Copies of this chain bind each other. A is one copy, B any other.
Amino acid sequence: MSNQGKPAVALLSGGMDSATVLAIAKSQGYAVHALSFDYGQRNRLELECARKTAMALGAASHVTMRVDLGAFGGSALTADIPVPTGKQTQSGGVPATYVPARNTVFLSLALAFAETKGASDIFIGVNALDYSGYPDCRPEYIRAFETMANLATKLAVEAKARVAIHAPLIEMTKGQIVSAGLKLGVDYSITLSCYAPAPTGEHCGQCAACQLRKKGFDEAGAKDPAQRH
């Protein structure tokens, strides 16, 4: 592993995809500093899942940073409007669960965090197939962010370390993601996908995120350890 001990930053949400990405980054030899955001999301259980996952997968450190995106409003994930059930993108448009500029905000903060850690590798769990309604989950977006980041930072300008945005799941199906994670020993029982879980953490089984999670485990021919419905 040529990256042995090299610092990297991985965004960690508490869901399946970012847990899988953290495991992938670790498997490539990086010392992974995990970064989570408390952005006023209604679902507070996510942050607890992120903390457990960072510990379980041996992250070098884990920071949860507060960013008050809720002050801006405009999304079902942070505001008091109903969470849509069923397939999110049936109209072909952008889903109501879209948070304004979310990945741009999160990658920018990851870039700041990376600079303070001397890291030039940033991992994010975006996926272009299952989340086709989100503009900031597309490969062309990730490449444009990377280009910008290499013009933005002291790290890139002075140290001549090229910033790389790694999105290892971007072209994978949900089934391939689950398979990859299981192979790397990810404990999916401590991840949370549901948009509207019970106060005790059970998945609702109905929302778009739960249906996508089920599809992933079905395709991988595996049983979801967190599924209680």
Contact = CB atoms under 8 A, between A and B. Distances in A.
- Which residue of A63, A101, A138, A141 has the most chain B CB atoms within 10 A of its CB atom? A101
A109 B37 CA distance: 14
Contacts of A69: 112
A144 interface: yes
A116 interface: yes
Contacts of A135: 151-154, 156-157
A141 B148 contact: yes
A153 B138 CA distance: 11
A104 B152 contact: yes
Contact of A138 (B71, B94, B136, B151): B151
Contacts of A112: 69, 72, 99-102, 104-105
**Would you call the interface of chain A mostly helix, strand, loop, or mixed?**
helix
A82 interface: no
Contacts of A72: 112-113, 115-116
A224 to B, nearest CB: 31
A108 B101 contact: yes
Nearest to A98: B154
- Which residue of A74, A105, A136 has the most chain B CB atoms within 10 A of its CB atom? A105
Interface in A140-158: 140-141, 144-145, 147-149, 151-154, 156-158
